[in-house]
Amino acid sequence: MKKLSVLFAAVMMVVSVGMAKAQKIATLDVIGVLNAMPEKKKADTDLKAFLDTKQAEIKKKADAGQAKLKQYSEEAPKKTADENKAREAELAKMQEEIQQMNDKAQKDFVAKQDVAYEPIEKKLNDAVSKVAKANGYEYIMDANSAAFVFKGGADATAAVKKELGIQ
């Protein structure tokens, strides 16, 4: 009985090693492919323009706040305590508005980024799936991943780029 279980274990090890060698694994330079896609370049340009606009609005409000702070600081000795207190409250309110604008801009940017990148990611994933099926790859792993110890499999980057029609 013991010999039978040892024999069974040996057969299972041979079968599992054979199956592991039969798996086709490829790597893919995901960042390189994404950066070569015209859709991603356009999305990046649009997102940068959106972000620049929001930052300009926030800077304008912050500059106005700085100007008021300077003015109020210079006039403070000539004003009453109540006037100075009201001015401090006004400056605090402006600071809070700037922070809210900043928070909203960040949320809007993330939402816009998600909407812009979703079809690009879908297109890439569809191309990767098509290449994997066409070449019999069971796994395609990101070549930029730090988890790789050795990269000896096939590189699917060129095939995915070809599928997407990019160089």
Is there a contact between 166 and 38 (Cβ–Cβ < 8 Å)? Answer: yes
Average pLDDT, the chain: 85
The answer as to whether 10 is a domain residue is no
Q: What is the pLDDT of residues 30-71, one digit of tens each?
A: 999 999 999 999 999 999 999 999 999 999 999 999 999 999
Q: Pull the structure tokens for residue 128.
A: 């990767």
Q: Pick the closest to residue 9 from 136, 17, 130 (CA basis).
A: 17
Provide the pLDDT for residue 151: 59
Give the model's confidence band at 150: pLDDT under 50 very low, under 70 low, under 90 confident, else very high. Answer: low
Provide the pLDDT for residue 59: 95
- Domain total in the chain: 1
The answer as to whether 78 is a domain residue is yes
The answer as to whether 155 is a domain residue is yes
The answer as to whether 152 is a domain residue is yes
CA–centroid distance for 68 within its chain: 38
Is there a contact between 61 and 93 (Cβ–Cβ < 8 Å)? Answer: no
Q: What is the pTM of this model?
A: 0.70
pLDDT at 133 over 70: yes
Quote the domain boundaries for residue 43. 16-164
The answer as to whether 158 is a domain residue is yes
Q: What is the mean pLDDT of residues 84-90?
A: 92
- DSSP letter for 144, please: T
The answer as to whether 1 is a domain residue is no
Q: What is the mean pLDDT of residues 152-164?
A: 83
Provide the pLDDT for residue 160: 87
The answer as to whether 5 is a domain residue is no
State the CATH number of the domain containing residue 52. 3.30.910.20
The answer as to whether 156 is a domain residue is yes
Is there a contact between 54 and 108 (Cβ–Cβ < 8 Å)? Answer: yes
Query: SS3 for 146?
Result: coil
Which of 75-79, 84-88, 106-110, 143-147 has maximum average pLDDT? 106-110
